[in-house]
Structure 1
Amino acid sequence: MSRSSKILPGVLVTSALLLTSIGLGTVGAASAPRTTATAVHPGHVRAVSTASSPEDPDGDGYIPANPPVTGATPSTQDPPHRYFHEFQANCSVSHTRPDDPIVYPQQPGKSHDHTFMGNTTTDAGSTTASLSAGGTTCKAPGDLSGYWMPTLYNNDRQILPVGPQVIYYKAGVTDYTSVRPFPKGLRFVVGNPMQSADEFRHHRGFVEGWECGDSYFNTEFPASCPDRADVQLNIRFQAPSCWDGKYLDTPDHKSHMAYPVVKPGTNDNMCPADHPVAVPMIEFKMAFPVNGDMSQVRLASGPGHSFHYDFFNAWDDRTLKALVDHCVVGGLQCDARGYDQTHPEAGAALNADYRLP
């Protein structure tokens, strides 16, 4: 079967254009040459754009890795226990826009509104090359990646995170020494704006849901939060950390990635056989400056349980490898410089300017 004729499980290829406005945006008859309807969750269907782009000229949704990773097998090793194996990417909000270069490439205005962090140039036309030539709001200049999520509103007022937000890069598998950097151009969507509240609550990426004050594990926004200057609305959500080694993107923007599985007879996490490459597990830890009456708080994608986010890797290869090797493989708890204050003898991966020394 040729790559252009592949159909992912749950994907129904339709000849007619989808004209309905849904959580991922509105697809119009004059602007989207092809669309697939994807049954991502039971009872939910969402549009998946298959418009062509410079990185996917045939518009089939598959972007092959070049080169692919071959011969990889999931690691079953159990290295010496280290409680931490992570570093942070601290990135501020750069802009908002109704664009999504992963779901709706080359189709400006087709998505619900997104809040973008990291790369300052991210828009509907973004490619690996354009991001690599852009600027960044991240502390590490080598992190030119695009990070985005649906914009939060209180009534019709945008509520944007203030200052650097915490984006963790962690080991999602027990063998933290097997984690390797993302390939340049890897992109994926975490979560689904069409998910139900129950699906959101039981998503593999769910950590503690929406939090404010002493209220947590909420699938929807709390009705109210303590009206104090030190209280914000928070959420943490984790991404899959196993890659198939073949594609930088797939039509549903998810199937090339997978969450770890439990090694039989143990409590160890390992990558599944069809996604054998362990990569960093991204965890968004976002803080929104809103409290008090929360009854009018919503996401651009809908209610609180529609939360999801996107990642488009454009790290400088050498910088990302230095941080992954030093902090994740090295079993450290690092800041954005790759420095673990509890292990000063290990030094830092980056210098005081957050660049490679």
Structure 2
Amino acid sequence: MKWLALSLALAGHSQAALRFGCSTVSIQRLDPLVEPGKIPSSHVHQIVGGNSFNATMEGDRSEHATCTTCTFSENFSNYWTAVMFFKHSNGSYKRVPLMQNTALPNGINGGMTIYYTQQDFFSNGNQKITAFKPGFRMTVGSPTNTGDQGNPGLRFVCLQNKGTRFPELPTFPSQPCPGGIMTVHHFPACWDGKNLDSPDHQSHMYNTVREAFTPAGACPASHPVRMPQLAFETLWDTTQFNSMWPADGSNPFVLSYGDGVGYGTHADYVFGWKGDALQRAMDSNCMFNACENGNPLQSQSVQQMNACTVKSQVTEELDGWLDHLPGQENMGNM
């Protein structure tokens, strides 16, 4: 297995890199960052992580959650993205199922693969990485984007199989994908050192990464603190819809806010690691799954991950064929 070989080869480096799975904790219309307190929010999200997720999230989330859907049991953070739907030629919509990454343990209920890297995908570097702080939050991308914003961290991958990683595309693939579609969200890793959030949930951070999983440039004086490079990979099982691809070749997939191109893809993060767990990991020399079982992070079984859930605060149909996207009643002709 190339993933295991990579982990073993890098085990001697001085800084850690984390890669782990999180099963789905909820799929519903809530967005405590962009639309705090609004029930329901404007569009559907897929959420993973701690079970304290709700419409209004303030303070240290590790003090409010009692379980997490992530591999590391000290990680009560929440991570979420827009949900993908298939739009049939008759105008109806169906939610695209999630599937687990091939590099993760079997049985994970959908969810995402989460990364906290320090230099790139192949080495951990040797600079001091400062963990996020209690109350920290940020977003990347925006559903209002209608063109390429030049952010190389927001990408789509047409999967030949679950191990496919390239090429990365700025928009939805233009043809049916044999193994499904992966959405990729890389966050900036330079912090201003002062603000746990900002009005746009982005200005307190600065991006110096030119391409995904490549060494970042030096942090600027305005944002001098290097933090972990956070990234999400979400795999969507689009294969059941391949035979329904439109005859004119147009893309039939949309994100839950009505985006059928993909430039508006976005993701949200609220920090919730317990105590100094993330800093201990960043200061250690573990790599990927070698960080589990107390080395230095406590981990849990897939069964425990899948058992953690959040009750939906929104009552609406999300499965089956729908005549409109949830919350987008006036966008059925998009």
TM-score range, shorter chain: 0.5 to 0.7
Return the match for 2:81 from 143, 149, 158. Answer: 149
Aligned residue type for 1:300:
S
Shift of 1:117: 0.8
TM-score (normalizing by structure 1): 0.63
Return the match for 2:71 from 107, 115, 139. Answer: 139
Aligned residues: 253
Q: Does the CA-based 8 Å contact 1:261-1:271 persist in structure 2?
A: no
Return the match for 2:229 from 267, 281, 288. Answer: 281
How far apart, CA to CA, are the structure 1 residues paired with 2:193 and 2:75? 22
Q: Does the CA-based 8 Å contact 2:16-2:283 persist in structure 1?
A: no
- Higher normalized contact order (CA 8 Å, seq sep 6+, divided by chain length): 2
How far apart, CA to CA, are the structure 1 residues paired with 2:151 and 2:171? 14
TM-score (normalizing by structure 2): 0.67
Partner of 2:291: 338
Unpaired runs of 5+ in structure 1? 1-80, 341-346
Partner of 2:308: none
Cα gap change, 1:296 to 1:257, in 2 (>3 Å): same
Residue 242 (1) aligns with residue 179 (2): no
Deviations 1:186-211 (A, max 9, x none): 10011121223322xx21424x5332
Return the match for 2:158 from 204, 211, 215. Answer: 211
Return the match for 2:263 from 294, 305, 310. Answer: 305
Q: CA RMSD in A?
A: 2.9
Shift of 1:283: 1.1
Aligned residue type for 2:144:
M
How far apart, CA to CA, are the structure 2 residues paired with 1:212 and 1:220? 14
Q: Does the CA-based 8 Å contact 1:261-1:272 persist in structure 2?
A: no
Return the match for 1:118 from 38, 46, 49. Answer: 49
Cα gap change, 1:172 to 1:244, in 2 (>3 Å): farther
For 1:220, what is the secondary structure of its paired residue? coil
Q: Does the CA-based 8 Å contact 1:242-1:277 persist in structure 2?
A: yes
- Whose strand fraction is larger, Structure 1's or Structure 2's? 1
Cα gap change, 1:133 to 1:175, in 2 (>3 Å): same
Return the match for 1:159 from 96, 99, 102. Answer: 96
How far apart, CA to CA, are the structure 2 residues paired with 1:298 and 1:83? 42
Instruction: Give runs of ≥4 in structure 1 deviating > 6 Å.
Output: none
Residue 320 (1) aligns with residue 267 (2): no
- Show the 5 A alignment for 1:62-77: none
Shift of 1:120: 2.6
Aligned residue type for 2:221:
A
Shift of 1:94: 1.4
For 2:283, what is the secondary structure of its paired residue? helix
Moved more, 214-223 or 313-322: 214-223
